[in-house]
Amino acid sequence: VLKPSEKDPSAANWIAERYAEAGLPAGVLSVVHGDKEAVDAILEHPDIASVSFVGSTPIAKYIYETASAHGKRVQALGGAKNHMLVLPDADLDLAADSAVNAGFGSAGERCMAVSVVLAVDSIADTLVDKIAERMATLRTGDGLRGCDMGPLITAAHRDKVASYIGVARDDGATVVVDGAGVEVDGEPGGFWLGPTLLDAVPTSSAAYRDEIFGPVLSVVRVGAYDEAIEIINASPYGNGTAIFTRDGDAAREFAH
């Protein structure tokens, strides 16, 4: 049973239709649409043995508590703030390519999106320039028309994501690329927000602390490897981290 977000129902329907076309027997995959009432029915139904969820942390906690109280196995994944560390010996072109791909694919609305780049001071300026240069080539628009980045899920979410640009600026960060107000030809009124790059974001800023879940990439400058590790370990979020370096010792230490 697949229960998609009520804000994005069509993708699940499309997937189910493709399964049916491929010959999947009726009833093997069911798609259920709805709001909290539909969710509660799934969490409480006696014939459902396990539940898996990915979404915001408050909802993940609700899913876990409710489903487990009804005797179900539960996998509930909440908010994420994935960090990417770039050391001075790294291939900066590779790091910049990766930051752009990981930060702006799916308009940043995916749980494994990189939202924070930790850059050691000595290479931070160069890395920021390389990332900004690549961002200039990204096309925002209808994903079915060959664009690189589509709209955000709702107007309210677009506005929330865009608000962090001003928050970061007020907190002392530099807005290197501002995606607010981007216009797409032939698509007025869409939930558009262009790729955005923030530099020198303080870790005290809500732009760093919150899960933004959109096309906003924050660069946090650090003095050295150890400082970066302290920042990563202090984050309350998952889901993943990455390191760019040619130093095998640093890579092994990072992994373990």
Convert the pLDDT of each residue in 2-15 to its tens digit: 999 999 999 999 99
Give residue for tokens 């640009």: 165
Amino acid identity for residue 248 in this structure:
G
Structural domains of the chain ordered from first start = 10-77 (no CATH), 82-255 (3.40.309.10)
pLDDT in the model for residue 230: 98
Regions of the chain with pLDDT less than 50: none
Q: Which residues pair with 2 in a beta bridge?
A: 31
Retrieve residue 187's tokens: 């698509």
CA 100, 172, 154 angle in degrees (round to 5)? Answer: 50
pTM of the entire structure? 0.93
- Reported as a single tens digit per residue, the pLDDT across 96-133 is 999 999 999 999 999 999 999 999 999 999 999 999 99
pLDDT in the model for residue 185: 87
Helix (H) / strand (E) containing 227: helix 225-234
Reference 92, options 136, 125, 62, 63; nearest CA is 125
Helix (H) / strand (E) containing 76: strand 73-77
pLDDT in the model for residue 154: 96
**Of residues 12, 54, 111, 182, which has the active-site annotation?**
111
Reference 120, options 207, 196, 227; nearest CA is 227
pLDDT in the model for residue 103: 98
Alpha helix locations (H) across 105-154?
121-135
* Whether 147 is catalytic: no
pLDDT in the model for residue 188: 87
